[in-house]
A and B are shown apart, each in its own frame.
Chain A
Amino acid sequence: MKTSVSAEVVVLLAGLLFALGIVGVIIRKNIVFMLLSVEIMLNASGLAFVAAGSRWGQPDGQVMFVFILAMAAAEVSIGLALILQIYHQHKSLDIDNLKEMNG
């Protein structure tokens, strides 16, 4: 399947989705929603990679997308395990409650 949209439109779409992800990370206090927003950002960067790869007709874009996917899976598994531990210890998912980490 082929489309003939201009490269700018695809890159702008990826940029817009990435900006939405940033907004989600900043405005949310619930740690689950922050992790979701990080997923949105990873997806947007994957879209940019795939678009660039198909722009030049090279497979490298999709290869990078596969790596992003593997990284996202690893990040999500660790992040969700941490979220479960945080909830068991604090009975809350509010990131402001995690002050004793002194981060």
Chain B
Amino acid sequence: MEIAFYIAGAVAIVATLMVITRHNPVHALLYLNVSLLAHAMLFYLLGASFAALLEIIIYAGAIMVLFIFVVMLLNLGKETAEQERKWLKLKVWAGPTMLAAILFAEFLALVLSSRQSTYSPAVVSPREVAVSLFREYLIGVELAAMLLMAAVVGAAHIGRHKKLVLHRFLKEEKEREEEKQEEMVL
């Protein structure tokens, strides 16, 4: 099964490369989806079937749909692709890529110089994960729930548009109040 691991890893790397170099947002999103599916394959091969399922359901299913909705809402099409083509010049990406490559080379050297360990991944069943999640990490689960709640409220607040006051008298009253306030400020 090693060959499957290497193939999935290669797919993940190539798809990620495509994500960061595409001009069209929709193409980048589709490549990211492929990359996520490759990640799910890697998780499964590492014996983490629960993580693989979560990756497909939540990441490739839910989060990517959010991204696609936003890209559709913003109507990012050909113009954005043109703009990206203009922005993504060699002198823009050469420097950062080189620096990141140096960092990765350091990481490579560190990992390769460490003691080689034989690796036989154990299969961790969803049952063990659930028991650990709701026993030792219960406080973490509750904190995650609060985080998600805060995210929902925050997203609803940030995404809200300014409401127009529909009743004409109310509108006039509001305007008058605003004028009064401006006068007071002046």
Contact = CB atoms under 8 A, between A and B. Distances in A.
Nearest to A30: B84
SS of A interface (majority): helix
B111 A70 contact: no
Interface size class of A (residues with CB under 8 A): 35 or more
A81 B124 contact: no
Interface size class of B (residues with CB under 8 A): 35 or more
Contacts of A81: 154-156, 158-159
A59 B132 contact: yes
Contacts of B16: 17, 20-21, 40
SS of B interface (majority): helix
A50 B48 contact: yes
Interface string B100-142: 1101100110011010111111111000110111000100100
Interface of A: 1-13, 15-17, 19-24, 26-30, 32-33, 35-37, 39-40, 43, 46-47, 50-51, 53-63, 65-67, 69-78, 80-85, 87-88, 93-94
Given A27-B97, A57-B124, A62-B48, 12 more contacts: A7-B119, A9-B5, A20-B20, A21-B16, A21-B20, A47-B43, A50-B46, A51-B46, A53-B124, A56-B122, A61-B51, A75-B151
